Amino acid sequence: MFYTYIFLPLISAILVPFLYKYFNRFVHTGWFVLLVPLSIFIYLVQYIPSVAAGDTYKYTLSWIPSLNVNIVSFVDGLSLLFGLLISGVGSLVIVYSIFYMSKAREALHNFYIYLLMFMGAMLGVVFSDNLLVLYGFWELTSVSSFLLISYWYERKSSRQGALKALLITVLGGFGMLAGFIMMIMMADTYSIREMIANLDVIQSHGLFIPAMLCILLGAFTKSAQFPFGIWLPDAMEAPTPVSSYLHSATMVKAGIYVVARMTPIFGGSSVWFWLVAGIGIITLLYGSLTALRQTDLKAMLAYSTISQLGLIMCLLGVGSLAVYFGPGESSTIFTVAAFAALFHLFNHSTFKGSLFMVVGILDHETGRRDIRYLGGLMQVMPITFTIALIGGLSMAGLPPFNGFLSKEMFFAAVNDVSKAGIFGLGSIGILFPIIAWVASIFTFVYCMIFIFKTFGGQYRPEKLTRKVHEAPWGMLISPAILAVLVILIFFFPNVLGKYILTPALSAILPTMTPSPYDLKISPWHGLNIELIMTIGVIVIGLLLFKSSKRWIQAMRNYPQGLTLNHWYNKGLSGTERLSASLTNGYMTGSLRHYLIYTFAFFVIVLVSSLLLLYGFQFDFSNDAAISIFDIGLVLGMVIAAGTVLFAGNRIVAIVALGALGYMVAMFFVIFRAPDLALTQMVVETVSTLLFLLCFYHLPKLKKGIERIPFKLTNLIISIAMGLTVTLLALSANGHKLFEPITSFFENSYKLAGAKNIVNAILVDFRGFDTMLEISVLAVAGLGVYILVHQRSKGREQHENE
């Protein structure tokens, strides 16, 4: 039941092309797709009461039982929170996309297949308990994100953005794979929950820090933390529903999910704290500062997403201190910080999701998303303006919106951490509140710019390419729902806190036992330092916004040579040059060279490993006696092989090669293997024919080319190759390490009802091999067909020109 829902997106993706083909003329394909996240959401909602009561659920589906890889799913508070976000925001985004993506013009089947693929992968990431399965789904999210960013693949910027996102996130993914493998080695289990149960083994292990660094690399690249965040702004080339879904609400939070999931294991270590909290707060500052100088609304939101992700990351880092202090009074404030991280994560999905949809509306209705052209839209699009105002003020951290609550909790957390006095925080801990405060001012200013430069000021229709009017209801409904949530959460934060956030918190910090009183969110705490900080943000922020004309231009003229993007581009082109020169060095286009590499590698690896592992052992005691037929056949084979080498024309060589093959078949006859003999003979016939066909395309052997100059290296390599294979065959027969499995196959009549053992092996005992072999065969056949036909097609075009 559970797996039906988790795999529903992937399964239904198969149906999308058919739905698109037959029904898209009447109904937008999105309406069918909408059913998927909606049913998953409804299914997951049923878990809320029992998970809030502290229950967890475990489901197992065996996948590769012999390798102990099972798809173990685990439903606890944290995965449920993410599952609800994925399916909930997913439903809203699909409703929005139905009106955003034109049914007549867009390739909707591609779009929805990629989107469903992403949804399935993301659900897989958050519900997997097996680390390797988690990793598999993790990479699938990167791939589907790549496909979605490059959805408008005719545009160069889309392709570049997609490539950048893929390169950076997959680089991190590989790091994470290495980290996961180290963890699996340390704990000797694949299951995250078993690792948490065996904490001591991992924490005292020498690979503890390397594994942590590798996993953090994966989490930071995915969650666009400094300095890896540069892929996110370029990912904005994707259609807006995608930006809103993947690049603000769900996928970029996968890194946060992993950090939260790993907190019970790594939390409490100083390296973990400094990396997560430190990188988080640097990202917060970097993102908010860079967002200020953007003129493209989507780029501004992208940098703002980076900065908000940094905020959540920082809160998780602070929350990990609770593990250091252990259960008790002193850890309560840090537990609350982790709680605030989850709260802000939820809030961010609501307000940033709605803001992205607002930008999509602007883009759709005005054809512009550059603030230098927009202005005064308040009078034309009042509903959109209201939604933008709610989302923007929430992001700025003002009441009565949910962003205010989590921002206050963030200030409280950084104030607490500056006083914690461990991990060297005593001396430089004060930096945390200062940076947080400064970054919040910048956040406030860009929120103001976002709202008032777009909707306030003078309305200038002459600068816009289209006649502007309010968006259709279908595009407004999703952001409106999110905006209503923004306000509702402000007034009833504890409903969310009790049923969804608290269970999730107990998954991050399982040993803590915070009282419900500690986790009560309230808008009014009295006139404390956090409130003063917020008031300071508003006052200074307003001053900066009013004077923005004077300094904003200076910000935008920031030298390009100093940006991270510049270094990324330089590094990329450098690597490309390096790899091109390296590859051109050995890819000469000559088959002979390639064979030399292959054979030399084969000989060196095999001989050295045989020597190192004492593999050479010969045992001739069981061998059959050599008869006169054998000697005759071998002599014939030697003559045939020599003829191939020294033949003056190709037909003779091919015929000699065929003769060689038939003599091998004779050997099978002598050793009473009729199946092999038959196969060898037919294969030999067909391949001689193939040779003759290819022969047509080869240049004629002329006297000049025919005499290949004698080369000593070639002779040595060919003799070594022959020797290696001979020795290998002899010593394979000389070893008796394992019991032969012949006796199993001899039962073929009983097991498979077949008297022909060879056939029973092919179709039954090793049927999987055969199935994959014929698949490879068919694919190779198609490959030949395509190569040949593309070539002749290309030639025809060439002739026509």
Partner 1 sequence: MKTNDVILKSVTRVAAVIILTFSIYLFMNGHHHPGGGFIGGLSMSSAIVLLYLSFGVDKVRENIRVDFKKLAAIGVLIAIGTGMAGVIFGKPFLTQTFGYYDLPIFGNTELASALIFDTGVALAVIGTAVNIILSISEDR
Question: Is 11 near partner 1 (CB under 8 A)?
Answer: no
Considering only 188, 785, 793, 796, the residue that binds partner 1 (CB under 8 A) is 785
Please, what is the minimum distance in Å from the beta carbon of residue 5 to partner 1?
Answer: 20
Considering only 428, 708, 712, 784, the residue that binds partner 1 (CB under 8 A) is 784
Question: Which of the ranges 24-32, 417-425, 463-471, 693-701 carries the binding residues for partner 1, by CB under 8 A?
Answer: 693-701
> Which amino acid is it at 568?
Y
d(CA 16, CA 111): 10
Please, what is the minimum distance in Å from the beta carbon of residue 686 to partner 1?
Answer: 5
Q: Which two tokens stand for residue 259?
A: 């950090």
**Residue (of 312, 304, 325, 299) closest to 260 by Cα position:** 312
Helix (H) or strand (E) holding 765: none
Considering only 14, 777, 793, 796, the residue that binds partner 1 (CB under 8 A) is 777
Which residue number, 181 or 673, has a Cβ lying nearer to partner 1? 673
Question: Is 782 near partner 1 (CB under 8 A)?
Answer: yes
Q: What residue has token string 């012999």?
A: 66
Which residue number, 60 or 563, has a Cβ lying nearer to partner 1? 60
- Indicate the DSSP class of residue 422: -
Q: What residue has token string 């994707």?
A: 238
Please, what is the minimum distance in Å from the beta carbon of residue 791 to partner 1?
Answer: 7
Task: Assess whether the previous peptide bond of 49 is cis (omega < 30° from 0).
Answer: no
> Which residues, other chains included, contact 44 with Cβ-Cβ below 8 Å and sequence gap of 6+?
5, 80, 83, 84, 87
Task: State the Cα torsion 371-376-379-385 to the nearest 10°.
Answer: 40
d(CA 472, CA 469): 9
Lay out the site mask for partner 1 across 508-547 (x = CB under 8 A, - = otherwise): ----------------------------------------
Count of helix runs (H) and strand runs (E) in the chain: 39, 2
Q: Which two tokens stand for residue 763?
A: 């179709």
Please, what is the minimum distance in Å from the beta carbon of residue 746 to partner 1?
Answer: 15
**Residue (of 100, 81, 161) closest to 475 by Cα position:** 100
**Residue (of 180, 439, 432, 407) closest to 318 by Cα position:** 432
Please, what is the minimum distance in Å from the beta carbon of residue 66 to partner 1?
Answer: 11
Lay out the site mask for partner 1 across 650-689 (x = CB under 8 A, - = otherwise): ------------------------xx--xx--xx-xx--x
Which residue number, 587 or 689, has a Cβ lying nearer to partner 1? 689
Question: Is 60 near partner 1 (CB under 8 A)?
Answer: no
Question: Is 627 near partner 1 (CB under 8 A)?
Answer: no
Q: Which of residues 733-752 bind partner 1 (CB under 8 A)?
A: 752
Q: How many CB atoms within 10 Å of residue 210? A: 13
Q: Answer for the pair 121, 8: CB distance below 8 angstroms, yes or no.
A: no
Question: Which of the ranges 44-52, 365-373, 531-539, 771-779 carries the binding residues for partner 1, by CB under 8 A?
Answer: 771-779
- Indicate the DSSP class of residue 277: I
Please, what is the minimum distance in Å from the beta carbon of residue 671 to partner 1?
Answer: 14
End-to-end Cα, the chain, rounded Å: 60
Q: How many CB atoms within 10 Å of residue 754? A: 17
Which residue number, 542 or 788, has a Cβ lying nearer to partner 1? 788
Question: Which of the ranges 80-88, 98-106, 597-605, 753-761 carries the binding residues for partner 1, by CB under 8 A?
Answer: 753-761
Which residue number, 64 or 197, has a Cβ lying nearer to partner 1? 64
d(CA 557, CA 309): 26
> Which residues, other chains included, contact 164 with Cβ-Cβ below 8 Å and sequence gap of 6+?
230, 231, 234, 235, 568
Question: Which of the ranges 416-424, 715-723, 730-738, 786-794 carries the binding residues for partner 1, by CB under 8 A?
Answer: 786-794
Beta-bridged to residue 59, according to DSSP, are 73
Which residue number, 18 or 23, has a Cβ lying nearer to partner 1? 18
Considering only 577, 582, 778, 794, the residue that binds partner 1 (CB under 8 A) is 778
Considering only 520, 546, 791, 793, the residue that binds partner 1 (CB under 8 A) is 791
Question: Is 767 near partner 1 (CB under 8 A)?
Answer: yes
Considering only 39, 386, 731, 756, the residue that binds partner 1 (CB under 8 A) is 756
d(CA 114, CA 137): 14
Please, what is the minimum distance in Å from the beta carbon of residue 744 to partner 1?
Answer: 15
**Buried/exposed 546-557: b ≥16 CB within 10 Å, e otherwise:** eebeeebeeeee
Considering only 789, 793, 794, 796, the residue that binds partner 1 (CB under 8 A) is 789
Question: Can you spell out the DSSP letters for 99-133?
Answer: HHS-TTTS-HHHHHHHHHHHHHHHHHHHHB-BHHH
Q: Which of residues 423-452 bind partner 1 (CB under 8 A)?
A: none
Considering only 106, 370, 470, 764, the residue that binds partner 1 (CB under 8 A) is 764
The number of residues that bind partner 1 (CB under 8 A) is: 41
Please, what is the minimum distance in Å from the beta carbon of residue 124 to partner 1?
Answer: 21
Question: Is 794 near partner 1 (CB under 8 A)?
Answer: no
Question: Is 690 near partner 1 (CB under 8 A)?
Answer: yes
**Residue (of 437, 427, 350, 345) closest to 392 by Cα position:** 350
Question: Which of the ranges 78-86, 273-281, 657-665, 755-763 carries the binding residues for partner 1, by CB under 8 A?
Answer: 755-763
> Which amino acid is it at 630?
D
Q: Which two tokens stand for residue 538?
A: 């508003």
Question: Is 798 near partner 1 (CB under 8 A)?
Answer: no
Please, what is the minimum distance in Å from the beta carbon of residue 14 to partner 1?
Answer: 14
Which residue number, 611 or 786, has a Cβ lying nearer to partner 1? 786
**Buried/exposed 695-710: b ≥16 CB within 10 Å, e otherwise:** eeeeeeeeeeeeeeee
Question: Is 171 near partner 1 (CB under 8 A)?
Answer: no
Please, what is the minimum distance in Å from the beta carbon of residue 801 to partner 1?
Answer: 20
Question: Is 604 near partner 1 (CB under 8 A)?
Answer: no
Q: What residue has token string 């100093």?
A: 562
Please, what is the minimum distance in Å from the beta carbon of residue 670 to partner 1?
Answer: 15
Alpha helices in 188-274 (DSSP H): 192-197, 199-203, 208-222, 231-234, 240-244, 254-266, 270-273
Q: Provide the binding-site residues for partner 1, judged by CB under 8 A.
A: 674-675, 678-679, 682-683, 685-686, 689-690, 693-694, 697, 752-756, 758-760, 762-764, 767-768, 770-771, 774-775, 777-778, 780-782, 784-785, 788-789, 791-792
